[in-house]
Chain A
């Protein structure tokens, strides 16, 4: 009897979270799965022309925008994540080595500020940095005698636009990673470093053999979450290129999977568009799942808890 009462109570406590999750997470997930397997779903009338197993997937895979989006997303993920993890690691090791606490605190703040700044705003700032005529980047290159490059302006090539985007995304990811790594570094017992010193380990060996392994749980955590985040890249593209999703004249050249999903949703009036979005979303989900699984497998061998 008492147990039953307890049961009712616990359900009662769980209810607010469960109700919200059901409305905004569980229902959309099941609905997406449903949408993927119906033909020509009409959003306004809620009708469809029967079921299909693969047609929506095939449609998405044939879409030239999809292959572009897949390429862009993969590039963003596999270039910006490793790069920003490595750079963040080096910066945090450097920060941690600053002997004067006040100076260290100052730089910590500097490096963390981007985290509390809006990604769109930073994107606009970066777009300006890469501006062909007024940008700081071209000004520097000019000092080296290199004539101005059209990074992100009208008619900029895909390669240059992607390069600029990658620089921006890598930089954007640094703040949070530095913070996590730094707190991890500060948790490492100083005696390991003293022991390594007595054992005549060079600085690069200390980094490779002591710091990285002892920090590996943090590195793993950051890598997995950053991979998942990068697969969902969208805001960053908007921030730098606006709703065109590419340099002027080359619309959608920087499209990502999530952007593709939004695109399809924009056309929700067209029968089947929602199913297309659902298919793209599920493909992204599958890709993310596979890579997270791979990540975790690697971590079993490489991470020392």
Chain B
């Protein structure tokens, strides 16, 4: 079932008569039988979009098509959708079996047939042995599977998942996302899921759309969107660790950061923002792009170098809105502190699991380069880089559009 969103707009009217445009003129075609990710930071309108597809929210304007059928005026119960809520919304007083049976009973399916179907679908998602438990007796991952089973059991035309993994711990999240991928493949059902976690979206989606403030930023295959970001927002949003952003300029067909030329461009001379993926740096014998390594993070497979550079643009973090409230100086100071502490005893296990100092170091004027562990770079070493052209993206300073 191909799903088409046409000029889809949702405006929320708040009490004091100011309008909030949650979704702005969305035009997306979601291919049939694929796993499609709606990706964006919190408040970007992705859940609103999902709930409009489900029918629980009415669009302010625009149309939704399932195949050729205009379902915009169709209420959710008649749309033939399965919806998995962020907190699963399992009926707490019903057993797993009753939860899965509930949609079937509503369409008055024969009880024996329904039981057989419920068992089939429960086996498919791997909870067939838990049929007589209550939701409270299940782990988060199991509850999530029950929710998926309940959504799938009536053979919906479309499966919708709202932040399906956000309530699971890290290990379970990895496992469950593979599971979702498998279930989607086995059922071949068109699946749309919402997430703010770009890694999650990239890893399992056939296609993703990146949204910001209700506006489509880019649609496409995850690798393609990662490799060829349309604009600075998309470039920043995708990738862990995030892309490094530098203040730069184009001069005589050369891309300059400070006084160093790091690449070529056909564009005319202008001030630009240069984004370089952490994996886009290559250590070489001779280059004028010469920097001193401040810290080294070893994770075994490769090594992340953290390097101070005056032209780095400090990035705000997408995932942790609380951090934005701190002033930049505070963050930088904190980063300094943490970094100093950690600098003395960098070891694999320690660095791998810790997010905050990494992020905070990023807040200071530093960038990260991921290089092969064989170089054996130590803090304080001076390294020379060249930049892989396809890992570098140049954006207009004002608009953030690709130059």
Q: Residues of A with Cβ closer than 8 Å to B?
A: 189, 191-192, 194-202, 205, 209-210, 213-214, 216, 304
Contact status of A198 and B76, CB under 8 A, knowing A191-B87, A209-B102: yes
| Interchain CB contact under 8 A, A202 and B83 | no
A188 to B107, CA, bound (A): 24
Contact status B85-A199, CB under 8 Å: no
Asked if A198 meets B91 with Cβ closer than 8 Å, knowing A191-B85, A205-B106, the reply is no
Q: Which of B54, B87, B91, B105 has the most CB of A within 10 A?
A: B91
Q: Which residue of B lies closest to A303 (CB)?
A: B93
Provide the B85-108 mask, 1 if CB < 8 A to any CB of A, else 0.
101010111100000001101110
Q: Which residues of B contact A196 (CB under 8 A)?
A: 102
**Which residue of chain B lies nearest to A190 when distances are taken between CB atoms in the complex?**
B89
User: What are 19 A-B residue pairs whose CB atoms fall within 8 Å in the complex?
Assistant: A192-B89, A192-B91, A194-B56, A194-B83, A195-B83, A195-B91, A197-B77, A198-B56, A199-B77, A199-B103, A199-B150, A199-B154, A200-B103, A201-B103, A202-B106, A205-B106, A209-B102, A304-B92, A304-B93
Which residue of chain A has its CB nearest to the CB of B82? A198
B101-139 contacts to A, CB under 8 A, are 102-103, 105-107
A210 to B98, CA, bound (A): 12
List chain A residues, Cβ under 8 A from B91: 192, 195, 209-210, 213
B106 touches A201 (CB 8 A): yes
Q: Determine the distance from Cα of A68 to Cα of B266 in the docked complex, in whole angstroms.
A: 104
A192 CB contacts on chain B under 8 angstroms: 89, 91
Q: Give chain B nearest CB distance to A191 CB in angstroms.
A: 4
Q: A191-B85, A194-B56 are in contact. Are A214 and B93 (CB under 8 A)?
A: yes
CB distance from A211 to the nearest CB of B (A): 11
Smallest CB separation, A206 vs chain B (Å): 9
| Across the A-B interface, the 10 shortest Cβ-Cβ residue pairs | A304-B93, A199-B103, A191-B89, A200-B77, A195-B89, A213-B93, A200-B106, A198-B83, A201-B106, A198-B76
Q: Which residues of chain A are near B238, meaning CB under 8 Å?
A: none
Q: Does B245 contact A (CB under 8 A)?
A: no
Known A191-B89, A192-B91; further 12 A-B contacts with Cβ < 8 A? A195-B89, A198-B55, A198-B77, A198-B81, A198-B82, A199-B103, A199-B154, A200-B103, A200-B107, A205-B105, A209-B91, A213-B94
How distant is the Cα of A201 from the Cα of B81 in the complex, in angstroms?
13
Please tell me if the beta carbons of B102 and A194 are within 8 angstroms of each other in the complex: no
Complex contacts, A195 vs chain B, CB 8 Å: 83, 85, 89, 91
Q: B146 to nearest A CB, angstroms?
A: 12
Q: How far is the CB of B13 from chain A (nearest CB, A)?
A: 14
In the complex, the chain A residue whose C-beta lies closest to that of B55 is: A198
Cα(A214)–Cα(B107), bound, Å: 22
Of the candidates A189, A194, A198, the one having the most CB atoms from chain B within 10 angstroms of its own CB is A198
Residues of A within 8 A of B56 (CB): 194, 197-198
B contact residues around A191 at 8 Å (CB): 85, 87, 89
Closest approach, in angstroms, between the C-beta of B86 and any C-beta of chain A?
Answer: 9
A209 to B102 Cα, complex, angstroms:
9
Q: How far is the CA of A196 from the CA of B89 in the complex (A)?
A: 9
Cα–Cα distance between A283 and B189 once the two chains are bound (Å): 66
When C-beta atoms are compared, the residue in chain B nearest to A192 turns out to be B89
Among B7-30, those with CB < 8 Å from A are none
Interface bits B150-167 vs A (CB < 8 Å: 1, else 0)? 110010000000000000
Q: Which of B78, B85, B93, B107 has the most CB of A within 10 A?
A: B93
Q: Separation in Å of the B164 CB from the closest CB of chain A? A: 14
Q: Give every chain A residue within 8 A of B94 (Cβ-Cβ).
A: 209, 213
Q: How far is the CA of A199 from the CA of B89 in the complex (A)?
A: 12
In the complex, chain B residues whose CB is within 8 Å of the CB of A198: 54-56, 76-77, 81-83, 151
Considering the complex, give the chain B residue whose CB is closest to the CB of A214: B93
- Chain B residues 67 to 84 lying within 8 A of chain A, measured CB to CB, are 75-78, 81-83
Complexed CA–CA distance, A8 and B92 (Å): 47
Give chain B residues whose Cβ lies under 8 Å from the Cβ of A197: 56, 75-77
CA distance in complex: A196, B93 (Å):
14
Q: Which residues of chain A come closer than 8 Å to B83, judged between CB atoms?
A: 194-195, 198
Minimum CB–CB distance for A245 against chain B, Å: 44
- Chain A: CB-nearest residue to B92: A304
Q: Contact between A199 and B106 (Cβ–Cβ < 8 Å)?
A: yes
Given the complex of chains A and B, what is the CA–CA distance between A199 and B76 in angstroms?
9
Would you call B82 and A214 a contact (CB within 8 A)? no
Question: A201 vs B102: C-alpha distance in the bound complex, in angstroms?
Answer: 8
Nearest A residue to B83, CB-CB? A198
Taken together as a complex, chains A and B put the C-alpha atoms of A120 and B82 apart, in Å, by 55
Hey, which chain A residues are within 8 Å of B150, CB to CB?
199
B37 CB, min distance to chain A CBs, angstroms: 21
Task: Provide the bound-state CA to CA distance between A198 and B85, in Å.
Answer: 11
- Residues of chain B lying within 8 A (CB to CB) of residue A200: 77-78, 103, 106-107, 154
Chain B: minimal CB distance from A192 (Å): 6
Chain B residues near A201: list those with CB within 8 A.
77, 102-103, 106
Minimum C-beta distance from B300 to chain A (A): 43
Tell me, rounded to whole Å, the shortest Cβ–Cβ distance linking A218 to chain B: 13
User: A304 CA to B94 CA in the complex, in Å?
Assistant: 9
A193 to chain B: closest CB distance in Å? 9
Q: Which residues of B contact A205 (CB under 8 A)?
A: 105-106
CB distance from A304 to the nearest CB of B (A): 3
Min C-beta distance of A226 to chain B, whole Å: 23
Question: Looking at the complex, which one of A194, A209, A213, A214 makes contact with B85 (CB distance below 8 Å)?
Answer: A194
Interchain CA distance A202-B92 in the complex, whole Å: 19
- Are A189's CB and B89's CB within 8 A? yes
For the complex, what is the distance from the CA of A191 to the CA of B75, rounded to whole Å?
Answer: 16
- A194 lies within 8 A of B92 (CB): no
**Bound complex: CA A210 to CA B92 (Å):** 9
Smallest CB-CB separation from A216: which chain B residue?
B93
| Distance, CA A64 to CA B107, complexed state (A) | 57
How far apart are A41's CB and chain B's nearest CB, in angstroms? 53
A194–B77 touching, CB < 8 Å: no
* Distance, CA A209 to CA B55, complexed state (A): 22
